[in-house]
Amino acid sequence: MFPDYRIKHFPIAVWMLFVSVLPRMLLAQNSKKINDNSQAWTSINTLATIDKHWALIGDFHIRRNAFMHEPGFYFIRTGAAWYCRKDLFVALGYGHMWLATNIRDHYIYAGENRLYQQLQYHARTGRIGFTQRIRNEQRWQQKIVNGQKTGYERFSDRIRYLFSVSIPIFKDVHWPELVIADEVAVQFGREIIYNRFDQNRFFIGIRQKLSQQLSFDFGYLYQYQQKYTPHEVDENQILRLFFYYQPRLRN
Protein backbone atom coordinates (compact mmCIF):
# COMPACT_ATOMS: atom_id res chain seq x y z
CA MET A 1 0.00 0.00 0.00
CA PHE A 2 1.30 3.49 -0.90
CA PRO A 3 2.16 5.37 2.33
CA ASP A 4 -0.29 7.90 3.72
CA TYR A 5 0.43 11.53 2.87
CA ARG A 6 0.24 14.01 5.75
CA ILE A 7 -1.41 17.33 4.95
CA LYS A 8 -1.73 18.74 8.47
CA HIS A 9 1.83 20.15 8.53
CA PHE A 10 1.36 22.30 5.41
CA PRO A 11 0.66 25.54 7.42
CA ILE A 12 4.35 25.50 8.43
CA ALA A 13 5.34 25.27 4.78
CA VAL A 14 3.01 28.10 3.79
CA TRP A 15 4.35 30.37 6.53
CA MET A 16 8.00 29.76 5.58
CA LEU A 17 7.20 30.30 1.90
CA PHE A 18 5.68 33.70 2.75
CA VAL A 19 8.80 34.68 4.70
CA SER A 20 11.00 33.69 1.76
CA VAL A 21 9.14 35.75 -0.84
CA LEU A 22 8.84 38.83 1.37
CA PRO A 23 12.10 40.37 0.00
CA ARG A 24 10.75 39.90 -3.54
CA MET A 25 7.51 41.63 -2.60
CA LEU A 26 9.41 44.57 -1.16
CA LEU A 27 11.68 44.67 -4.21
CA ALA A 28 8.66 45.08 -6.46
CA GLN A 29 8.00 48.43 -4.78
CA ASN A 30 11.46 49.75 -5.68
CA SER A 31 13.30 50.31 -8.93
CA LYS A 32 16.28 47.94 -8.90
CA LYS A 33 18.26 46.04 -11.47
CA ILE A 34 17.62 42.32 -11.05
CA ASN A 35 20.21 39.78 -12.14
CA ASP A 36 18.42 36.47 -12.76
CA ASN A 37 20.71 33.46 -12.50
CA SER A 38 20.20 29.71 -12.73
CA GLN A 39 22.68 27.64 -10.76
CA ALA A 40 23.49 24.16 -9.48
CA TRP A 41 24.97 23.61 -6.02
CA THR A 42 26.30 20.41 -4.51
CA SER A 43 28.27 19.67 -1.35
CA ILE A 44 29.39 17.07 1.14
CA ASN A 45 28.95 18.13 4.78
CA THR A 46 30.73 16.05 7.41
CA LEU A 47 30.25 16.02 11.18
CA ALA A 48 32.51 13.28 12.55
CA THR A 49 31.90 12.40 16.20
CA ILE A 50 34.96 11.68 18.36
CA ASP A 51 33.22 11.20 21.73
CA LYS A 52 30.11 12.46 23.51
CA HIS A 53 31.42 16.04 23.51
CA TRP A 54 33.74 16.51 20.54
CA ALA A 55 33.26 16.33 16.77
CA LEU A 56 35.15 17.44 13.67
CA ILE A 57 33.60 19.46 10.82
CA GLY A 58 34.63 19.18 7.18
CA ASP A 59 32.61 20.55 4.23
CA PHE A 60 33.27 20.93 0.51
CA HIS A 61 30.96 22.92 -1.80
CA ILE A 62 30.78 23.49 -5.56
CA ARG A 63 28.36 25.93 -7.16
CA ARG A 64 28.03 26.37 -10.92
CA ASN A 65 26.44 29.26 -12.85
CA ALA A 66 24.28 29.09 -15.99
CA PHE A 67 22.94 25.95 -14.36
CA MET A 68 26.12 23.86 -14.73
CA HIS A 69 28.02 25.45 -17.62
CA GLU A 70 30.14 28.08 -15.85
CA PRO A 71 32.12 28.13 -12.60
CA GLY A 72 30.60 29.89 -9.61
CA PHE A 73 32.60 29.10 -6.52
CA TYR A 74 34.48 26.40 -4.64
CA PHE A 75 34.38 26.42 -0.86
CA ILE A 76 35.92 24.38 1.95
CA ARG A 77 35.11 24.61 5.65
CA THR A 78 36.83 22.94 8.60
CA GLY A 79 36.26 23.19 12.31
CA ALA A 80 35.63 21.59 15.66
CA ALA A 81 32.35 21.22 17.52
CA TRP A 82 31.69 20.74 21.23
CA TYR A 83 28.37 19.29 22.38
CA CYS A 84 26.97 21.05 25.43
CA ARG A 85 24.08 18.59 25.29
CA LYS A 86 23.04 15.91 22.87
CA ASP A 87 20.85 18.42 20.99
CA LEU A 88 23.07 21.51 21.25
CA PHE A 89 26.62 22.24 20.09
CA VAL A 90 28.96 25.16 19.58
CA ALA A 91 31.58 25.21 16.85
CA LEU A 92 34.37 27.32 15.46
CA GLY A 93 36.59 26.98 12.46
CA TYR A 94 37.97 28.28 9.18
CA GLY A 95 36.70 28.38 5.61
CA HIS A 96 38.11 29.43 2.25
CA MET A 97 36.24 30.34 -0.92
CA TRP A 98 37.41 30.69 -4.53
CA LEU A 99 34.82 32.94 -6.24
CA ALA A 100 34.90 32.98 -10.04
CA THR A 101 34.62 36.24 -11.98
CA ASN A 102 34.16 36.25 -15.77
CA ILE A 103 36.59 38.71 -17.37
CA ARG A 104 36.30 38.81 -21.17
CA ASP A 105 35.51 35.11 -21.49
CA HIS A 106 38.09 33.88 -19.02
CA TYR A 107 37.83 33.44 -15.27
CA ILE A 108 39.85 34.73 -12.38
CA TYR A 109 39.21 33.64 -8.82
CA ALA A 110 38.93 35.98 -5.86
CA GLY A 111 39.93 34.35 -2.61
CA GLU A 112 38.03 34.74 0.63
CA ASN A 113 39.31 33.75 4.06
CA ARG A 114 36.65 33.17 6.66
CA LEU A 115 36.58 32.50 10.40
CA TYR A 116 33.30 31.40 11.93
CA GLN A 117 31.63 30.71 15.26
CA GLN A 118 28.40 28.73 15.42
CA LEU A 119 25.63 27.67 17.79
CA GLN A 120 23.27 24.93 16.59
CA TYR A 121 20.22 23.38 18.24
CA HIS A 122 18.13 20.45 17.05
CA ALA A 123 14.88 19.23 18.57
CA ARG A 124 11.90 17.05 17.73
CA THR A 125 8.23 17.56 18.42
CA GLY A 126 6.67 14.21 17.77
CA ARG A 127 8.16 13.14 14.45
CA ILE A 128 8.85 16.69 13.21
CA GLY A 129 12.45 17.85 13.45
CA PHE A 130 13.51 21.47 13.96
CA THR A 131 17.00 22.90 13.52
CA GLN A 132 18.09 26.42 14.45
CA ARG A 133 21.57 27.74 13.75
CA ILE A 134 23.30 31.04 14.39
CA ARG A 135 26.62 31.51 12.62
CA ASN A 136 28.92 34.52 12.92
CA GLU A 137 31.54 34.94 10.19
CA GLN A 138 34.53 37.24 9.83
CA ARG A 139 35.30 37.51 6.12
CA TRP A 140 38.31 38.87 4.23
CA GLN A 141 37.47 39.09 0.51
CA GLN A 142 39.97 39.90 -2.23
CA LYS A 143 39.02 42.96 -4.27
CA ILE A 144 38.96 42.77 -8.06
CA VAL A 145 38.80 46.03 -10.04
CA ASN A 146 38.67 46.16 -13.85
CA GLY A 147 39.48 42.49 -14.06
CA GLN A 148 42.61 42.74 -11.91
CA LYS A 149 43.36 41.69 -8.35
CA THR A 150 44.18 44.81 -6.37
CA GLY A 151 46.04 43.25 -3.46
CA TYR A 152 43.46 44.71 -1.08
CA GLU A 153 40.77 42.97 0.93
CA ARG A 154 37.28 43.91 2.05
CA PHE A 155 36.42 42.95 5.64
CA SER A 156 32.93 42.24 6.88
CA ASP A 157 31.30 40.55 9.83
CA ARG A 158 28.25 38.54 8.81
CA ILE A 159 25.58 37.05 11.05
CA ARG A 160 23.38 34.25 9.69
CA TYR A 161 20.27 32.70 11.21
CA LEU A 162 18.87 29.42 9.84
CA PHE A 163 15.56 27.80 10.71
CA SER A 164 14.85 24.39 9.20
CA VAL A 165 12.01 21.92 9.64
CA SER A 166 11.81 18.31 8.46
CA ILE A 167 8.35 16.78 8.18
CA PRO A 168 7.73 13.04 7.71
CA ILE A 169 4.96 13.11 5.12
CA PHE A 170 4.80 9.32 4.93
CA LYS A 171 4.28 6.79 7.70
CA ASP A 172 7.04 4.57 6.34
CA VAL A 173 10.34 5.91 7.75
CA HIS A 174 12.22 4.67 4.68
CA TRP A 175 10.45 7.23 2.47
CA PRO A 176 11.76 10.81 2.12
CA GLU A 177 10.91 13.65 4.48
CA LEU A 178 9.81 17.11 3.38
CA VAL A 179 12.43 19.74 4.25
CA ILE A 180 11.75 23.47 4.41
CA ALA A 181 14.41 25.96 5.48
CA ASP A 182 15.01 29.68 5.49
CA GLU A 183 18.23 31.54 6.26
CA VAL A 184 18.70 35.29 6.67
CA ALA A 185 22.11 37.02 6.68
CA VAL A 186 23.07 40.55 7.70
CA GLN A 187 26.57 42.00 7.65
CA PHE A 188 28.58 44.92 8.98
CA GLY A 189 31.85 46.62 8.13
CA ARG A 190 33.43 49.89 7.07
CA GLU A 191 32.73 49.20 3.39
CA ILE A 192 29.28 47.68 3.98
CA ILE A 193 26.99 50.59 3.15
CA TYR A 194 24.09 49.51 0.95
CA ASN A 195 23.93 45.80 1.71
CA ARG A 196 23.82 45.40 5.46
CA PHE A 197 20.96 43.07 4.62
CA ASP A 198 23.07 40.60 2.69
CA GLN A 199 20.73 37.83 1.56
CA ASN A 200 17.85 35.46 2.16
CA ARG A 201 17.84 31.79 1.18
CA PHE A 202 14.70 29.67 1.02
CA PHE A 203 14.90 25.94 0.40
CA ILE A 204 12.20 23.33 -0.16
CA GLY A 205 12.92 19.74 -1.04
CA ILE A 206 13.23 16.21 0.26
CA ARG A 207 15.63 14.53 2.64
CA GLN A 208 16.46 10.87 2.19
CA LYS A 209 18.40 8.68 4.58
CA LEU A 210 20.76 6.27 2.81
CA SER A 211 22.29 4.69 5.92
CA GLN A 212 22.85 5.43 9.60
CA GLN A 213 25.71 7.74 8.65
CA LEU A 214 24.78 9.12 5.22
CA SER A 215 21.81 11.14 3.96
CA PHE A 216 21.08 13.80 1.36
CA ASP A 217 18.63 16.56 0.62
CA PHE A 218 17.60 17.57 -2.87
CA GLY A 219 15.39 20.41 -4.01
CA TYR A 220 14.94 24.04 -4.98
CA LEU A 221 16.80 26.96 -3.39
CA TYR A 222 15.80 30.58 -3.98
CA GLN A 223 18.46 33.14 -3.08
CA TYR A 224 17.87 36.89 -2.91
CA GLN A 225 21.11 38.83 -2.48
CA GLN A 226 21.73 42.58 -2.30
CA LYS A 227 24.84 43.71 -4.21
CA TYR A 228 27.34 46.28 -2.95
CA THR A 229 25.69 48.91 -5.16
CA PRO A 230 22.34 50.26 -3.89
CA HIS A 231 20.15 49.47 -6.92
CA GLU A 232 21.23 45.96 -7.90
CA VAL A 233 20.24 42.54 -6.58
CA ASP A 234 20.84 38.93 -7.56
CA GLU A 235 17.97 36.47 -7.76
CA ASN A 236 19.36 32.96 -7.99
CA GLN A 237 17.23 29.93 -8.87
CA ILE A 238 19.30 26.99 -7.65
CA LEU A 239 19.03 23.23 -7.95
CA ARG A 240 20.61 21.98 -4.72
CA LEU A 241 21.97 18.55 -3.77
CA PHE A 242 23.68 18.31 -0.36
CA PHE A 243 25.08 15.15 1.20
CA TYR A 244 25.47 14.75 4.96
CA TYR A 245 27.99 12.31 6.41
CA GLN A 246 28.05 11.75 10.17
CA PRO A 247 30.48 8.96 11.09
CA ARG A 248 31.61 7.95 14.57
CA LEU A 249 35.41 7.93 14.70
CA ARG A 250 35.40 6.05 17.99
CA ASN A 251 32.87 3.48 19.18
DSSP 144-211: EETTEEEEEEEEEEEEEEEEEEEE--SSSTTSPEEEEEEEEEEEE-TT-SS-SEEEEEEEEEEEEE-S
User: Mean pLDDT: which of 123-127, 143-147, 152-156 is highest?
Assistant: 152-156
Q: Is 146 left (phi over 0), alpha (psi -120 to 50) or beta?
A: left
- List Cα–Cα distances, 18 to 58, 132, 183, 197, 206, in angstroms: 33, 19, 13, 18, 19
Element (H, E) at 220: strand 214-226
pLDDT level of residue 144 (50, 70, 90 thresholds)? confident
Say how far apart CA 207 and CA 176 lie, in whole Å. 5
The region of weakest confidence among 49-53, 134-138, 170-174 is 170-174
pLDDT confidence of residue 4: 42
- List Cα–Cα distances, 3 to 6, 146, 173, 209, in angstroms: 9, 57, 10, 17
The domains of the chain, with CATH numbers, are: 10-245 (2.40.128)
The region of weakest confidence among 36-40, 86-90, 128-132, 167-171 is 167-171
pLDDT confidence of residue 113: 98
pLDDT level of residue 18 (50, 70, 90 thresholds)? low
- Kindly tell me if the per-residue pLDDT of 7 is higher than 50: no
Mean pLDDT of 159-181: 95
Q: To the nearest 10°, report the CA torsion of 42, 48, 54, 59.
A: -20
Please state, for a pLDDT cut of 70, what percent of the chain lies above it.
87
pLDDT confidence of residue 228: 87
Say how far apart CA 80 and CA 224 lie, in whole Å. 30
User: Would you say 224 and 232 are in contact if contact means Cβ atoms under 8 Å apart?
Assistant: no
Q: How far, in whole angstroms, is CA 61 from its chain's centroid? A: 10
- Kindly tell me if the per-residue pLDDT of 25 is higher than 60: no
Mean pLDDT of 127-132: 95
* 143 or 10, greater pLDDT: 143
Closest CA to 107 of 153, 65, 141: 65
Mean pLDDT of 86-111: 93
Q: How far, in whole angstroms, is CA 220 from its chain's centroid? A: 12
